Structure 1
């Protein structure tokens, strides 16, 4: 079968290529550029626990050694501390702040060592043709090339050529927020901690510095973001330097400390959402499908989750043949989640950024407003939490043995320690992304005994037989405990780490039904690409 064509060699495209390769699916990555990225210290990303783990699993690089996991978070309003979080206490995971070119370089290095991935540099897409059996893409360059693929995924950013060639609308809002950005090496009084400072008391008259964020990077480098007022205020080098000196002096009690300015920029936040994410054998992911990022949320996180969601589904259809319901679930799951995220931001923005009557009419306090911002920055609540596929078309129905656990169906599983089939102790998250379903038996006491002593005892033989009979390859794991799960319960987990269901004991019929639903149900004949596109166009999706 032909490889998957991936248009775009940014973090999302490279992640998708590696995720497919881990599931033995070849791909061709069409890179419009020369195959390397210019270091930009001011262009950074904040990765949550799940997306950082995904990249580390694919690249086999400890990204935490190249970035900074925040030691804490503090938000101020004028001089008053409004909120403070210390990471490592409770269940709050520390985000990872890292330069984007470092992430891309790690992905490129992993791709270079992966024989199932071919990268074609200086390859700019200019046409796509698809039919029932595959898709063909043409790239411009010194030698025009036609590329033949089984599917094509546009990971080519906000100005996506793939999206335009498929005539997919991309409505939304422009310049929802605008930030002046600087990366500088300086010593600040809160090592390793991020600061969000609203309404700083030293700000000059006028609207130039209503909110400042400082995020640490390695080697004493900090990224500073100043929220700019609406409009087209010009950020000149002189005004930016003045803003830097004023901010640093305010944070260090009056005198500007020595600093080295490394990089600057203006960061524009847009909110847009593609009307369709799939037309036949052509799909969209990352910034080609959605733009978000106001109120501290991070767009790359969602792009990486797109790739994780799509990779295992493409792998199933690549190995087993077309399955429309499974591919359609990609748009249904991911677009619904992004829609909810954008809606939450739209509701919060007038409260947090408005002025005058509207702000005074909305109930809530400054502390409550700060909680909304903290949620966005830390990846919590409706603004920032990873989200769950609660209404997924892949969710099983009417399972008699289903029980509730602390993880709702469709949400990401908790990363507990498990015993693998070879007897080794690993983290549950380490077994993700291999294309197999995961079946986890909760069996207290197994962690203190070698696997050989219990693998043939109790419910294990019956469960092992049920796992072998599933309609898709599955790996049987055993955990001492799982939050909210009673002893001898069984969890079914998707390859991307989302919980399908929890069952009370070994129930082969329920387990099989849940696995079959997760794969999209019974396979139906694939319609022609033209028919598929027409059906999607008339589906009423907005």
Structure 2
């Protein structure tokens, strides 16, 4: 245990994603979890497009796909007649992953834990965080296991230990919001249905909506709005679940062989601050809300991607700790928006009066008017998340009109080629750890200067029009015959775009001035400059 090491509390998807991202970026990470083994409950099942883009950098998507099922649409069905009221095609969303990947949480955790082991991350289960005290140089923690208590010292602690976070409790901070509201009955079951297994479906019913999330094989998550259960009753009976499915899903879904039954009450709340000195909160430890829209785990995975690259720089002494303040500044507003919007959707979804009628009209419009449906799908996929107002988002020099600006997620334009004429994506380029600088220039000296300034923080990839224009190492040169980078990023014949490790654009500079990169790294990110190795 070292003061340069990061302790991640929680071995769920958010904690494991954080640890993996830290490790691939060169930081040491150690994970503990109070559970002695992975959960067997399906829990969070839907991975949205933006999270899939971020998980791509961990090189785990193919493994996750083997355990899951692609949802290519969102459908709304009448729970009384079985007729389709709305169909929203996810294939129109602007992503390389135009679908939701439904995977049971134990499988997601297994894939991420396997990747963590490959990256040298130690994951200890059956270990509970019971105390922490921090000073200017590190955090002293006490951890309890079956072998007894032990103490350790770490440079930083990330609390990703869920809605009942011990880390949050030990910090003395609290979730603030609404803790009473709608109730759900939820079950992880096998289903028999004639419905195609490629859509997430909502069922409208006067007694409360129902939801169907298909997973691999015949396994599925089902969920229903219900009245508050009697005090002390934590789970519905199997007979109640079968009756809810029969009554509210139009006779289209028959359930059998349950894994897990539970009641839960929706909470909508958030901590005021994500950073507390050397301790940071992520995922459900920082924000809780309704499961409608499958936003919870996805918001946490994006917390992890945003935090990890910054914390990796700081933990390795490569950047000033002030960089971590941008985690609060960028992610807290996103969390607040998710809490606010899911609260609204849950309130409307649970209505059977006038708001419920308005809901039905809105769903009809979304399902039958393509522009509205695309906008709904894009929002649910979290593809509208961006940081244009962040201090880390810098436009330098001349502004050229383009869809993307600093602070946006980096577009992945079609048409980029390797020197051997095979296609390549920005997503694939980001698998190599670090920052990615896309460079357009005919001046070889500019490229050399940029590579020296960036050093081992990432790589500079030159974009040329033809293979005849290529210079330097083939792996650091791409051909763009149709000016896709110019159109999407607004780069002229002499310009650069820096893409952060989380896939967002940090800097766009026209022209490609090496000093613009130097100032961005030194003054905006607080990075200590080093020579290339």
Aligned to 1:131: 135
Alpha-carbon distance change, 183 to 140 in structure 1, aligned in 2, over 3 angstroms: closer
Map of 1:377-388 to 2, 5 A cutoff? Answer: 380-381=378-379, 384-385=382-383, 387-388=385-386
* Residue aligned with 1:182, SS: strand
Shift of 1:273: 0.4
Aligned to 1:13: 15
* Residue aligned with 1:320, SS: coil
1:274 aligns with 2:244: no
Aligned to 1:451: none
8 Å CA contact retained: 1:493, 1:500? yes
Deviations along 1:445-468, one digit per CA (max 9) or x if unpaired, are: xxxxxxxxxxxx824542342343
Report the count of equivalent residues.
Answer: 493
Q: Which runs of 5+ in 2 are unaligned?
A: 464-477
8 Å CA contact retained: 2:320, 2:527? no
Deviations along 1:391-445, one digit per CA (max 9) or x if unpaired, are: 2122236x22233421242121123465679998642123336552211136xxx
Q: Which range is displaced more, 386-395 or 155-164?
A: 386-395
Aligned to 1:510: 516
Alpha-carbon distance change, 359 to 194 in structure 1, aligned in 2, over 3 angstroms: closer
Instruction: Supply the distance in 1 between the matched residues of 2:365 and 2:93 (Cα, whole angstroms).
Output: 21
Instruction: Supply the distance in 2 between the matched residues of 1:322 and 1:476 (Cα, whole angstroms).
Output: 20
Alpha-carbon distance change, 221 to 491 in structure 1, aligned in 2, over 3 angstroms: same
Q: Which range is displaced more, 57-66 or 122-131?
A: 57-66
Per the normalisation by structure 1, the TM-score is: 0.80
Instruction: Supply the distance in 1 between the matched residues of 2:199 and 2:241 (Cα, whole angstroms).
Output: 21
Alpha-carbon distance change, 390 to 382 in structure 1, aligned in 2, over 3 angstroms: farther
8 Å CA contact retained: 1:19, 1:308? yes
Alpha-carbon distance change, 422 to 394 in structure 1, aligned in 2, over 3 angstroms: farther
Deviations along 1:166-196, one digit per CA (max 9) or x if unpaired, are: 1112111225443222333334223232253
Aligned to 1:220: 218
Instruction: Supply the distance in 2 between the matched residues of 1:268 and 1:375 (Cα, whole angstroms).
Output: 29
Q: Which range is displaced more, 97-106 or 74-83?
A: 74-83
Alpha-carbon distance change, 243 to 306 in structure 1, aligned in 2, over 3 angstroms: same
Per the normalisation by structure 2, the TM-score is: 0.81
Aligned to 1:68: 69
* Residue aligned with 1:469, SS: helix
1:107 aligns with 2:112: yes
Aligned to 1:122: 126
Instruction: Supply the distance in 2 between the matched residues of 1:105 and 1:505 (Cα, whole angstroms).
Output: 46
Aligned to 2:468: none
* Runs of 4+ with >6 A deviation: 357-364, 369-372, 374-378, 420-424
8 Å CA contact retained: 1:177, 1:294? no
Deviations along 1:184-217, one digit per CA (max 9) or x if unpaired, are: 33342232322534434xx7xxx2xx21222221
* Residue aligned with 2:316, SS: helix
8 Å CA contact retained: 1:337, 1:389? no
Map of 1:149-188 to 2, 5 A cutoff? Answer: 149-188=154-193
Shift of 1:10: 1.4
Aligned to 2:321: 324
* Residue aligned with 2:326, SS: helix
8 Å CA contact retained: 1:95, 1:378? no
Aligned to 1:52: 52
